[in-house]
Copies of this chain bind each other. A is one copy, B any other.
Amino acid sequence: MSVSAQDVKALRDRTGAGMMECKGALEEAGGDAEKAVELLRVRGQAKAAKRGERQAAEGTIGHYVHFNGRVGALVEINCETDFVARNEEFLNFAREIAVHVASAAPRWVSEDDVPDDELARERTIFEQQADSDKPEEVRKKIAEGRLRKWLEEVVLLDQKHVNADRHEGRTIEQLRADLSAKTGENVVIRRFARFAVGE
C-alpha cells in the first residue's frame, strides 16, 4: 500500500525516526499509525525522549562569505533559551553550518523538505537505471539504496561536514545532536540561503 507524505510526517513528529523508517513502518502496518509506532519502538528507531517537541524560538543567524566574495550563505539556528543563543559553542556551530552550506550547496534542510514529486522522480530514475535482468524486489532495493545516497548529497542534515579533518566525517545531523546534548537544549537548523554570483 502507499502512504501519504502527511502520515509519514506525522509519524516522524511523533517518534523522531527517519523518513524512510517511518514510511516502511507505515506500509508494513497497513497505514495504521499506532501499529507503526509500535513497530518503530520494537526496532528501537523511535527515540525515547523527543527533544524536538520543545519550542526552539531563540537562536542566532550564522553567515559566511568566501574570501573571493562570490559565494555566501546565511543560516538560522534555533535553540530554546537566550542563554544558549549567546553561548560561544552555539555561535561557532552557526558559523560552521554557514561555512558548510556555502561549500556543499545542499538543496534542503531535512528529508521532510524534499518535495514529494522530486522524490518520486528520483526514485523512478533509479528504478529504471537498475539492471532489468534482476528480480523486481532486488531492483527496488538497489533503487532505494541509490535514493538514500542521493539524499545524503542534497539534504543538509544528511551531508557530512565539509571540514572532514575537524569533524571526522560526521554528518550535520550528528553535529547538531552533539550540540543539543552538550547544551541540553533542542537545537534546530531552521533554514538557509546560499548565493553564488551568477548562478
Question: Which residues of chain A have a CB within 8 Å of any CB of chain B?
Answer: 57-63, 65, 69-76, 78, 85, 91, 94, 191, 193, 195-198
| Given A63-B63, A63-B65, A65-B63: A197 and B71 interface contact (C-beta under 8 Å) | no
Q: Is the CB of B65 within 8 A of A69?
A: no
**Complex Cα spacing A26 to B62, Å:** 46
**Contact pick for A193, options B71, B78, B193, B198, CB 8 Å:** B193
Q: In the bound complex, how far is the Cα of B63 from the Cα of A73, in angstroms?
A: 9
Secondary structure type dominating chain A contacts: strand
- From B63, B91, B195, A191 is in contact (CB under 8 Å) with B195
* In-complex Cβ contact of A197 among B65, B70, B76, B196 (8 A): B76
Are A58 and B91 closer than 8 Å at their CB atoms?
Answer: no
Docked Cα-Cα span, A190 to B103, in Å, equals: 21
